[in-house]
Amino acid sequence: MAAGESQTPVSLSDRELQIIDLVAAGLTNQEIAGKLEISKRTVDNHISNILTKTQTENRVALVRWALQWGKVCLNDVNCCPLPNLND
């Protein structure tokens, strides 16, 4: 495990998880703000809080953390289909 990556589960809000997903998709803070119809400053604050909660130092480390904890799905990596209840 790389330095700065949390080894314990972290409680994140739905909005924070949504922002992590958009960061993982490669969007800038300005693009995230436009997509979510919030200010860039709000996105900046969310990302700062997320980095603190996850004990990560930057966006790359955050995406690594999110993949490790199954918080994002990238190109079918970490994607678990929901079971079909009709089977």
In a domain, 7, yes or no: no
Whether the per-residue pLDDT at 8 is higher than 50: the answer is: yes
Higher model confidence: residue 39 or residue 82? 39
Number of folded domains that form the chain: 1
By residue range, what is the domain housing residue 41?
12-67
CATH assignment at residue 43: 1.10.10.10
pLDDT at position 87 over 70: no
**pLDDT tens-place string over residues 14-67:** 999 999 999 999 999 999 999 999 999 999 999 999 999 999 999 999 999 998
Return d(Cα 19, Cα 29) in angstroms, integer: 9
pLDDT for position 1: 44
List C-alpha distances in Å: 60 to 2, 8, 16, 24, 82.
11, 18, 16, 8, 28
Q: Would you say how long the chain is, in residues?
A: 87
- Domain for residue 21, yes or no? yes
Residue 72 has pLDDT above 60, yes or no: yes
